[in-house]
Amino acid sequence: MTLNVSTSLNSALTREELLDDVLSELNNISFRDFQGALKRWHDGALSLVHLNLLMLLRARGPLTMTHLAELLDVSVASATGIVDRMEKKGVVERRRSEEDRRVVEVVVTERGEKVFSAMQSERQIRLTQLLAEIKDADLSALLQGLRAFREARERVVSRIPEEARAFA
């Protein structure tokens, strides 16, 4: 049961009701808004597939084409096409592995890193604007909640096998 946003925070909610309300609030930040933000942040220069691949590379480091294809859940041929287009844009490049020169890995270039820097700067500006609208007491409660959220996430992620942590 999802409670109305106007429900008083001081009323005694069961844990289930509280969880439903928190999930409802989190879901009000819709995926469509997130997609729109991503498109604005990178000025439409890269598709969401390209951004997904860049995020994988930043999270995991250099990856072989086979490993990228597995993580993206596409064929190696599809991954090759995606990487080819991204290479033409200068955001990734193929390099020989330091450990085994026979292995070719895909890495983020300096230009690819600048995409993330620009996105982070834009995100910082927008979050600062949003946070400026929140009263100090609510901001303090938000900080406490976000810290608890991060700690819970770290505990959950620590229980996930390493190979399954692509975006955990």
- Whether residues 143 and 91 share a domain: the answer is no
Helix axis angle for 48-60 and 76-89, nearest 10°, is 90
- Whether residues 124 and 142 share a domain: the answer is no
pLDDT of residue 116: 82
Find the length of the chain: 168
Whole-prediction pTM: 0.65
- Whether residues 126 and 138 share a domain: the answer is no
Q: How many domains does the chain have?
A: 2
Check pLDDT > 60 for residue 168.
no
Does 10 reside within a domain? no
- Whether residues 47 and 95 share a domain: the answer is yes
Q: Give the tens place of pLDDT for each residue, 86-135.
A: 999 999 999 998 888 889 999 999 999 998 888 888 888 888 998 999 99
DSSP 33-83: HHHHHHHHHTTTSS-HHHHHHHHHHHHH-SEEHHHHHHHHTS-HHHHHHHH
What residues make up the domain containing 68? Answer: 15-131
- Whether residues 44 and 19 share a domain: the answer is yes
- Whether residues 38 and 76 share a domain: the answer is yes
Read off the CATH number of the domain in which 28 is found: 1.10.10.10
Q: Give the tens place of pLDDT for each residue, 54-73.
A: 989 998 899 999 999 999 99
- Whether residues 91 and 166 share a domain: the answer is no
What pLDDT band is residue 142 in, cutting at 50, 70 and 90?
Answer: very high
Look at residues 110, 79, 116 and name the one whose alpha carbon lies nearest to residue 92. Answer: 110
